[in-house]
């Protein structure tokens, strides 16, 4: 079987480690313009490979990948993701496709991308939907009519990571339509550590038609610990992903958090066995991405730069 990863940076290397956990023999084509990234990813794969039945092919372009691909992952930065998607699908027929988020930086790119993948089973990698803790929590909250999800902490890169928590909020609310309140929200743009990109601190407030609320607060105050709080009809849940725990009233339980290197194999196995997976289908992922682009651009005004 042929697998492809386009983008061998930090995330790409972790996806590669995840594929190492699969038992099947395969050819994995790892594509990146930088040889140093390719070598680093290959070394990380070698650290965890236990089956020794996989062939890693390092490439600088997609021109030499096969015409038939079982599973492809595009983990480039958002600025280059659409061009990578076009190059991949012009070169090969892909059965299953996983796109990293933030999907694309420009609203005009989403319809084009949706059309490109119309014949490919495509998911977006917002991985909290895969975590057993959140899946169990969703089942517990089936009868709850009230959900206020609050994310708070210092320097957690709201621009880059807001999509994770918006996706989680949508998951817990069965994708109920929501909007961001531009009067209650306030974002301050700042330089990102990544060239050409912009980050944000500040507050985003979103509400659904039924009154469920998402609050995201990102501050520069280093005394503010990162916390996830969920208020429901039944009570308040406090989730500490760093410690892998969830507290409800006086009870604290385990809440395992997985690394990407422990998840990519599960994505493929579920796709292979069921034809679907627990992640967000691209059709469902487009609307929350566009919501964020709209609110980000509202606060950017005329400032130049690419968000996330």
pLDDT score of 191: 83
Indicate yes or no: pTM above 0.85: yes
Instruction: Provide the token pair at 185.
Output: 């929200």
On the CB side of 150, CA atoms within 13 Å amount to: 13
pLDDT score of 223: 84
Are 9 and 118 members of one domain?
Answer: yes
How many other CB atoms sit within 10 Å of the CB of residue 253? 11
Total domains, the chain: 2
Are 241 and 269 members of one domain?
Answer: no
User: Helix, strand, coil proportions of the chain in percent (round to 5)?
Assistant: 35, 30, 35
The answer on pLDDT for 93 being more than 90 is yes
The verdict on residue 114 lying in a domain is yes
The verdict on residue 116 lying in a domain is yes
- 221-231 average pLDDT score: 92
Instruction: Provide the token pair at 103.
Output: 């999907």
The verdict on residue 104 lying in a domain is yes
The answer on pLDDT for 221 being more than 90 is no
Are 52 and 141 members of one domain?
Answer: no
Instruction: Provide the token pair at 40.
Output: 């680093």
The verdict on residue 283 lying in a domain is no
Distance CA 257, CA 110 (A): 30
Average pLDDT, the chain: 95
On the CB side of 55, CA atoms within 13 Å amount to: 5
Percent of the chain with pLDDT over 70: 98
The answer on pLDDT for 301 being more than 70 is yes
Are 160 and 248 members of one domain?
Answer: yes
Distance CA 210, CA 113 (A): 31
> The CATH number of the domain where 252 resides is what?
3.30.360.10
Distance CA 155, CA 220 (A): 6
The three-point CA angle 3-119-57 to 5° equals: 15
Is residue 301 classed exposed, middle or buried when 0-12, 13-18 and 19+ CB atoms within 10 A define those classes? exposed
Nearest CA among 161, 144, 143 for reference residue 152: 161
Q: pLDDT by residue (tens digit) across 94-134?
A: 999 999 999 999 999 999 999 999 999 999 999 999 999 99
pLDDT score of 196: 79
Pairing of strands 68-74, 2-6: parallel
The answer on pLDDT for 307 being more than 70 is no
- 68-83 average pLDDT score: 97
The verdict on residue 120 lying in a domain is yes
Are 100 and 145 members of one domain?
Answer: no
Lowest mean pLDDT among 51-55, 141-145, 250-254: 141-145
Are 208 and 171 members of one domain?
Answer: yes
Are 173 and 114 members of one domain?
Answer: no
Nearest CA among 260, 269, 241 for reference residue 48: 260
Indicate the pLDDT class of residue 212, thresholds 50, 70 and 90: very high
Distance CA 292, CA 305 (A): 15
Percent of the chain with pLDDT over 90: 91
How many other CB atoms sit within 10 Å of the CB of residue 305? 13
Instruction: Provide the token pair at 249.
Output: 């009233």
Cβ atoms of 115 and 89 within 8 Å: the answer is: no
Are 120 and 153 members of one domain?
Answer: no
248 Rama class: left (phi>0) / alpha (psi -120 to 50) / beta: beta
> The CATH number of the domain where 269 resides is what?
3.40.50.720
Where helices occur in 102-188 by DSSP H, the ranges are 109-116, 132-140, 158-172
* Full residue range of the structural domain in which residue 139 is found: 132-257+290-307
Are 36 and 85 members of one domain?
Answer: yes
Residue 137 neighbours by CB under 8 Å, 6+ apart = 172, 230, 237, 246
The answer on pLDDT for 245 being more than 70 is yes
- 42-59 average pLDDT score: 95
Are 110 and 147 members of one domain?
Answer: no
pLDDT score of 192: 83
């Amino acid at each position: 079987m042929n697998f492809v990863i386009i983008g061998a940076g930090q995330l790409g290397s972790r996806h590669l480690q995840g594929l190492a956990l699969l038992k099947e023999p395969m050819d994995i084509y790892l594509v990146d313009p930088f040889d140093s990234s390719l070598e680093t990813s290959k070394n990380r794969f070698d650290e965890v490979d236990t089956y020794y039945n996989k062939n890693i092919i390092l490439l600088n372009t997609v021109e030499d990948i096969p015409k038939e691909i079982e599973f492809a992952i595009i983990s480039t930065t958002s600025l280059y993701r659409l061009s990578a998607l076009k190059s991949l699908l012009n070169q090969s027929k892909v059965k299953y496709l996983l796109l990293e988020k933030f999907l694309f930086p420009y609203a005009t790119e989403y319809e084009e991308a949706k059309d490109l993948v119309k014949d490919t089973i495509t998911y977006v990698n917002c991985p909290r939907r895969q975590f057993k803790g959140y899946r169990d929590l969703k089942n517990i909250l089936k009868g709850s009519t009230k959900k206020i999800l609050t994310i708070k902490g210092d320097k957690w890169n709201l621009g880059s990571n807001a999509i994770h928590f918006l996706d989680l909020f949508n998951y817990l609310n069965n994708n109920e339509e929501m909007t961001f309140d531009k009067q209650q929200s306030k974002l301050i743009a700042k330089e990102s550590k990544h060239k050409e990109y912009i980050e944000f601190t500040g507050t985003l407030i979103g509400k659904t038609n039924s009154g469920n609320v998402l609050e995201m607060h990102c501050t520069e105050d280093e005394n503010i610990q990162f916390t996830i709080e969920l208020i429901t009809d039944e009570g308040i849940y406090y989730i500490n992903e760093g410690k892998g725990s969830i507290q409800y009233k006086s009870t604290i339980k385990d809440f395992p958090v997985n690394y990407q290197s422990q998840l990519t194999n599960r994505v493929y196995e579920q796709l292979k066995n069921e034809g679907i997976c627990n992640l967000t289908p691209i059709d469902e992922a487009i609307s929350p991405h566009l919501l964020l682009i709209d609110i980000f651009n509202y606060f950017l005004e005329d400032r130049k730069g690419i968000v996330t």
